[in-house]
Structure 1
């Protein structure tokens, strides 16, 4: 499932990239909408109906990765998309079919050069497939060329094309009419066998690459306005998927259900009742465990700082015992006890190493032997308590306790 989701996201991102590439039609969509013409884009999951749209625009593509499509009388297992020309006649739908011109690598490289042009033979094969085998195509050998096609008699528009691709006027069938063109060929034609179909020879008049050139954008708006007829309000259908149309608009199959309070009972019916019971049981166990672990809440907070210090000391001692650091805990106890005694005699600022040394000097003046024993046992516990055996730890601690208790500290 994850792999399928990743492929779907990848496909969507590729489609979005193509729409914004030089060969895409995102610019045409935004430009028409800016001019007040609504646009619908094709979706492979949604079939559009004839009644929904006013004009269908179909960019013709070379199938099978640039290889010419099979002829109409050739047998093939791939039926391919529906013929847009036949659909246009069946539904009486104005349809603009745009001839291909560029290979797919142009959308990836982002550069439209002569090497990216499709061979005209492949394009003629596509014309044969949709029923226009009599039309011929020419392509200019020059680079950029300008022309002034007249879609309306009083509206000259200057267009620019790179290697302009046009229908051959010399071989234009008698049942086909040129609607717009250059001095050397026809850009837009319509034939009597498919009177609702309009063929545009050069896609650069409508794709992202061409809309930025000269007045190509104005030509695109004039062309769409002309083909969808005046006063039309239905959107233009930009069909890039080649999906066949529906004969009628799809009906919304959604159903509206009435809801009542009795529907709530379904949330407590089996097997949901088992889930709710399990959740209640787990919550009860959690509350009971919390009350048992921490005890009942205190009715009032104690302001006694000594109780807080005692609780902190007990917690630290418990952690040290659990971690097997009895010796380190004993050394800290001796050091803090001596610091408290030094502060008691010499003031609050004497609880440091200098203050403890001064305390030993004071004790030595009273009883030098006992003071020496006290100093050696205290120093041993502080420096080496964490590496002493349990027997040595108890022996030194007992010497320290007796020595400290036997000395008369006197008054401050």
Structure 2
């Protein structure tokens, strides 16, 4: 009993761990999804940009994890960058203090970023604010990112020697060529003196360059860089006439030979697809491909599966009890080997299950017949050993006939009466069973071995 209790306790502990692991995964994915939604809706998010562009008559669409637009259908990708170090993954914030102090708010893989830049002409909006703007919504100087961090991420993108400068705590106004009044708080611009020959200023302010086009290191295509994301984010679109200037700026940046559709890409994953129906496609399946099935939202299914499995196994444990060992049970007799014990126990369980079904169906005669047939087989094994075949019952009767013809005749007649097709009433059935048990006892007492 103690051994069975210990096994049950171990199983319950295992099921508890399984359920907790599934619940932990579910909560982790839910928390990550909540942080992403909070970032997109915050003052430094870009949830309002797509609607602003559409209202101005520009075809725009936002990234969605379940949609894969074709690269050939897109003219410009607007990519908010929240990662200050493309070479490492930032630590997950443990509490609100960590979220306020966080500098990398959404990691993106360097290889994924390079692919995005090569697929579609891309406007990268450099990061400017730390997590304090998301949590507190206060644009304080202490919430600004360090210039050294911006220098590092520019170098990782492939644009070297470009310096970023940050103005003081005031709205820096500027009048654009179209006449709109633009304003930026703590304006962040490129220092014109540091722009190399590979960079061309497209839009600027008195303080410095705002949008530049730079040839990346390695000879790859140009990349568009916006120094201050406040021009297009949720906070900036509500300032001055930024909401009127933003669509004009975006329309100017779309190449004339590309489709005039703007893709606002919030996702750190590569969601776009390439139309290669007429080309051979070779795929390399590595660990990264498998890891995609563990990320959101697929991770939710795995977490739910772990929880369901835990509940199912727990319910099975409660319903059927712990697994019994070989030969366990009060009816187990002396062992003559694991094979014999297993055979006997399996036979008892099978007969018990069949007897229960017959009792439930009211087939008492059939139950008695099955009992007599099984008992005759056991009697044959008593006489001739465990190797007795199915036809050994006739050998038992023949042996009894030689030794005690009268007993053999009565025993055979009673056995055939119980196992035959003739219907017996309850009283007759009980009398026949009593007679069978009495004759069987005589057989064993007087002729118990071959």
When normalised by structure 1's length, the TM-score is 0.52
CA apart distance, 1:139: 0.9
From 2, 7, 18, give the equivalent of 2:39. 18
**Partners of 1:49 and 1:136 in 2: how far apart?**
35
**Residue of 134, 138, 149 corresponding to 1:107:** 134
Query: Take 2:32 and 2:276, find their aligned partners in 1: how far apart are those partners?
Result: 26
SS at match of 1:225: helix
Match 1:242 to one of 260, 268, 280: 268
Matches within 5 A, 1:72-91: 80-82=109-111, 84=113, 87-88=116-117, 90-91=118-119
For residues 182-230 of structure 1, what are the alpha-carbon distances to aligned partners after superposition, in whole Å with 9 as ceiling and x for unaligned? 1120001112445542110000001011111111112210111112246
Counterparts of 1:143 and 1:195, CA distance in 2: 36
Q: Tell me the alpha carbon deviations over residues 321-373 of structure 1, each in whole angstroms, 9 at most, x when there is no partner.
A: xxxxxxxxxxxxxxxxxxxxxxxxxxxxxxxxxxxxxxxxxxxxxxxxxxxxx
- The answer (yes or no) to whether the contact 2:187–2:228 under 8 Å persists in 1 is yes
State the alpha-carbon separation in 2 of the partners of residues 36 and 210 from structure 1: 20
Paired position in structure 2 for 1:200:
226
In 2, Cα distance between equivalents of 1:208 and 1:79? 21
* 8 Å Cα contact 2:126-2:229 kept in structure 1: yes
Contact 1:41 1:239 in 2 (8 A): yes
Mapping for residues 116-135 of structure 1, pairs under 5 Å: 116-135=143-162
Q: Which has the higher contact order (CA 8 A, sep 6+)?
A: 2
Equivalences for residues 134-283 of structure 1 within 5 A: 134-150=161-177, 155-193=178-216, 195-229=221-255, 235-244=261-270, 248-249=274-275
Q: 1:41 to 1:28 in 2, by over 3 A?
A: same
Detail structure 1 runs of 4+ shifted over 6 Å in the superposition. Answer: none
Secondary structure in structure 1 of the residue aligned to 2:235: helix
Q: Is the 8 A contact 2:151 2:164 kept in 1?
A: yes
Match of 1:35 in 2: 56
- Considering only CA atoms, is the larger Rg found in Structure 1 or Structure 2? 1
> Following TM superposition, by how much is the alpha carbon of 1:14 offset from its aligned partner in structure 2, in angstroms?
2.9
CA distance in 1, matches of 2:114, 2:35: 28
- Mark the CA change 1:125 to 1:29 in structure 2 (over 3 Å): closer, same or farther: same
Q: Distance in 2 between matches of 1:11 and 1:125?
A: 26
1:43: Cα distance to partner?
3.6
Deviation at 1:30, TM superposition (A): 1.5
Instruction: Tell me the SS of whatever aligns to 2:61.
Output: strand
Offset of residue 249 of structure 1: 4.2
Preserved CA contact (<8 Å) 2:68 2:273: no
Q: How far 1:232 sits from its partner (Å)?
A: 6.4
Q: 1:230 to 1:189 in 2, by over 3 A?
A: same
Query: In structure 2, the residue corresponding to 1:208 is in which secondary structure?
Result: coil
- TM-score under structure 2 length normalisation: 0.48
Structure 1 unaligned blocks of 5 or more:
70-77, 252-412
Return the alpha-carbon distance in structure 1 between the equivalents of residues 257 and 109 of structure 2.
Answer: 35
Count residues with an aligned counterpart. 237
Gaps of 5+ in 2: 1-21, 92-101, 278-450
Alpha carbons 2:80, 2:265 under 8 Å: kept: yes
Please give the root-mean-square deviation of Cα atoms over the aligned residues, in Å: 2.9
Partner of residue 71 from structure 2, selected from 39, 42, 50: 50
